Amino acid sequence: MNHLLPRLHQKNPSASMELTLASSASAKTALLSCRQMRLGSPKLPNVWRSSLWRSRSSRRNTSLRTVALSTTVGLGNTMEAPAANAQNVNYMWPDKKRPRICIVGGGFGGLYTALRLESLVWADDKKPQVVLIDQSERFVFKPLLYELLSGEVEAWEIAPQFSDLLANTDVRFFKDRVKCLYPCDHLGTNAPTAGTVHLESGLLVEYDWLVLAIGAEAKLDIVPGAADYALPFYTLEDAHRVDKKLRELERKNFGKDSAIRVAVVGCGYGGVELAATISERLQEKGIVQAINAEKTILSNAPAGNREAALKVLSSRKVQLILGYFVQCITKGVEPQTLDAEPKSIDSAADHSESVTLELQPAERGLQGQTIRADIVLWTIGSKPLLPQLEPSDKPYDIPLNARGQAETDETLRVKGHPRIFAVGDSSTLRDRNGKLLPATAQVAFQQADFAGWNLWAAINDRPLLPFRYQNLGEMMTLGRYDAAVSPSFTDGLTLEGFVGHTARKIAYLIRLPTDKHRVQVGISWLLKSTVDSVATIQTMLTKAQSGS
């Protein structure tokens, strides 16, 4: 099935798209028409009634209402949106006959769906007009965020601008926040419009097809004090904040005997990768403690990855506090018990700006303990960024599960909404064994391929394909030139150390969005590797000469 493989090559646009903004009166007329169509329907499923959001406490007790997706002045295919306080204006698509696709969210699911649509072969009258909306001007390749802390990559390599990635495509990018969604597709696919996306800038985007790819954000409200004193590691901004905080602590402790205390909450992939990266960066100048409620790390990972991680964490003296959960995080409280080496505790005792984590055992038989940290990194819990604010006219809800993900069928279409697809963290699907698919870049990457194909099929009246997730294996970084890779095609095989690091970098290089960006990043990585190799050889020669 070669048509299912991602073909993310770029095309030269045949003509530049023109953007005109209609008066606010016509925009309001479009929205009013959409709402009147919904209100006039005699048969409305209860799942779409916003009043149920207040009255029910079932698994659909969350309604899709607004999305936290800023407004842009852009280049090329990037649109300049009106000011935030401007009246509502209607985005006029260049062609009134060709299909209109609006993609909300520019992560793996959203961007790769747009590129997949661009790569397919279309009849001239059916080639869709595509708009991509995101709050950021950059796409972020999240699996490589850890390399920012180790200095292996630069920001442009893993966070290129959408204007650069889409420069040679017909995809139009809007940097904006989505305020409301007004779907009309439940009234029938022959309606004049399938719905309208209302942006914070006042721009109204009517669409024939909608793709929800909004992603998720860190969930810090599950433990008191986490939102105030813990730093998440989920976005490019998060990575910059963590790096800035570490630099401040490194400068503050330069030339002193005091150690930098780092507490990592969670020992899934994110927590373990952070602990390994930061412990390597700080070396003897830091104390890294990783806290996990389970009695082991990486409980759902392949055994080879878990063993490789344990070996690296042990060699870097990362302290694992297993079987404990964080009860609260407070400021300026003297710890009662500390599970750390005595000399390290004494050396860190002068940190006046540290915070305290109160830990409770997950099982009976263990005593609670309290630890101090100069920086707390939070890697557990996430919540989908689906709409959370209800507009005054109460549009019909999109069905959500308890986590706030859209309920979809196996073709990735939202149930009850034949013109809306959902991918990545915005969707909920199970594998062949009935297990929920993980919220990973690999899943979103594969779903984007199917979503793009199924949009093509729907527009061309072809049968849609059911999504089938294929686990290609799991990879994790363990620091500079160190990683663990467990491919799915061979049981029991795990690539570790430099070999695993090289395999991981090559795999992610191949998955970068465009050919142009892949070439630029590949050359950059090759030059860095060459320089590092020369420096290593020079160091070895210097040591050999001094020893002789």
Q: At what angle do helices 441-459 and 108-119 cross, to 10 degrees?
A: 40
Q: Mean pLDDT score of the chain, rounded to an integer?
A: 82
Last residue of a domain, one of 347, 380, 413: 380
What's residue 88's pLDDT? Answer: 85
In this structure, are 176 and 230 located in the same domain?
A: no
In this structure, are 64 and 171 located in the same domain?
A: yes
DSSP type of residue 436: B
- Tell me how far apart the alpha carbons of residues 235 and 5 are, in angstroms, rounded to a whole number: 28
Provide the strand spans (E) within 309-349: 319-322, 324-331
* Residue 298, CA atoms < 13 Å, CB-side half-sphere: 20
Please report whether residue 197 resides in a domain: yes
What's residue 62's pLDDT? Answer: 39
* Cα–Cα nearest to 469, from 510, 514, 403, 424: 424
In this structure, are 42 and 85 located in the same domain?
A: yes
Give the model confidence (pLDDT) of 521-537 as tens digits: 999 999 998 988 887 78
The whole-number average pLDDT for the span 47-58 is 30
In this structure, are 359 and 387 located in the same domain?
A: no
Please report whether residue 524 resides in a domain: no
Q: From residue 201, how far is each of 33, 85, 90 by CA, in Å? A: 21, 7, 11
Last residue of a domain, one of 339, 370, 403: 403
- Tell me how far apart the alpha carbons of residues 145 and 240 are, in angstroms, rounded to a whole number: 9
In this structure, are 319 and 177 located in the same domain?
A: no
Q: Which of 34-38, 132-136, 333-337 has the lowest mean pLDDT?
A: 34-38
* Three-class HEC string of 155-194: HHHHCCEHHHHCCCCCCEEEECCEEEEEECHHHCCCCCCC
* Cα–Cα nearest to 236, from 329, 151, 143: 143
Please report whether residue 196 resides in a domain: yes
Residue 458 contacts by C-beta under 8 Å, 6 or more apart in sequence? 209, 464
- Tell me how far apart the alpha carbons of residues 362 and 360 are, in angstroms, rounded to a whole number: 6
Judge whether 477 and 308 are in contact, CB under 8 Å: no
Residue 34: pLDDT band (50, 70, 90) is: very low
What's residue 11's pLDDT? Answer: 40
In this structure, are 317 and 200 located in the same domain?
A: no
- Tell me how far apart the alpha carbons of residues 400 and 415 are, in angstroms, rounded to a whole number: 10
Residue 51: pLDDT band (50, 70, 90) is: very low
**Is pLDDT above 90 for 65?**
no
In this structure, are 59 and 208 located in the same domain?
A: yes
In this structure, are 214 and 350 located in the same domain?
A: no
- Tell me how far apart the alpha carbons of residues 3 and 255 are, in angstroms, rounded to a whole number: 59
- Tell me how far apart the alpha carbons of residues 456 and 361 are, in angstroms, rounded to a whole number: 52
**Selected residue with higher pLDDT from 273 and 399:** 273
What's residue 193's pLDDT? Answer: 87
In this structure, are 295 and 396 located in the same domain?
A: no
Q: Which of 4-18, 98-112, 371-385 has the lowest mean pLDDT?
A: 4-18
What's residue 87's pLDDT? Answer: 74
What's residue 17's pLDDT? Answer: 36
What's residue 190's pLDDT? Answer: 65
Please report whether residue 518 resides in a domain: no
In this structure, are 136 and 100 located in the same domain?
A: yes
Strands 172-175 and 78-79: parallel
Judge whether 474 and 301 are in contact, CB under 8 Å: yes
Residue 148's SS3 state is helix
**Selected residue with higher pLDDT from 375 and 69:** 375
- Tell me how far apart the alpha carbons of residues 239 and 360 are, in angstroms, rounded to a whole number: 28
Judge whether 21 and 82 are in contact, CB under 8 Å: yes
What's residue 536's pLDDT? Answer: 76
Q: From residue 130, how far is each of 157, 301, 420, 444 by CA, in Å? A: 25, 38, 14, 19
Give me the percent of the chain exceeding a pLDDT of 90.
Answer: 62
Residue 421 contacts by C-beta under 8 Å, 6 or more apart in sequence? 113, 209, 210, 211, 212, 408, 412, 413, 414, 451, 454, 455
Q: From residue 547, how far is each of 358, 447, 513, 535, 544 by CA, in Å? A: 50, 57, 48, 18, 5
* Cα–Cα nearest to 180, from 396, 373, 9, 21: 396
Please report whether residue 190 resides in a domain: yes
**Selected residue with higher pLDDT from 301 and 32:** 301
Q: Which of 51-65, 203-217, 304-318, 472-486 has the lowest mean pLDDT?
A: 51-65
What's the helix, strand, coil split of the chain in %, to 5? 35, 20, 45
What's residue 422's pLDDT? Answer: 96
Please report whether residue 104 resides in a domain: yes
* Cα–Cα nearest to 436, from 428, 425, 444: 428
- Tell me how far apart the alpha carbons of residues 392 and 524 are, in angstroms, rounded to a whole number: 51
Give me the domain span that covers residue 201: 14-218+383-403
**Is pLDDT above 50 for 376?**
yes
What's residue 48's pLDDT? Answer: 28
Q: What is the CATH number of the domain that holds 289?
A: 3.50.50.60
Provide the strand spans (E) within 340-388: 355-361, 369-373, 375-378, 382-384
Last residue of a domain, one of 380, 413, 437: 380
Residue 399: pLDDT band (50, 70, 90) is: confident
Give me the percent of the chain exceeding a pLDDT of 70.
Answer: 77
**Strands of the 89-92 sheet, one edge to the other:** 20-21, 89-92, 203-207, 195-199, 178-183
Domain count, the chain: 2
- Tell me how far apart the alpha carbons of residues 28 and 202 are, in angstroms, rounded to a whole number: 11
What's residue 118's pLDDT? Answer: 97
The whole-number average pLDDT for the span 43-66 is 32
In this structure, are 91 and 239 located in the same domain?
A: no
Please report whether residue 511 resides in a domain: no
* Cα–Cα nearest to 444, from 503, 490, 384: 384
- Tell me how far apart the alpha carbons of residues 72 and 106 are, in angstroms, rounded to a whole number: 14
CB neighbours of residue 417 within 10 Å: 25
What's residue 185's pLDDT? Answer: 80
Dihedrals phi, psi of 329, to nearest 5 degrees: -125, 125
Give the model confidence (pLDDT) of 229-273 as tens digits: 999 999 999 999 999 999 999 999 988 888 999 999 999 999 999
Please report whether residue 525 resides in a domain: no
**Is pLDDT above 80 for 32?**
no
Residue 438: pLDDT band (50, 70, 90) is: confident
In this structure, are 160 and 142 located in the same domain?
A: yes
**Is pLDDT above 50 for 53?**
no
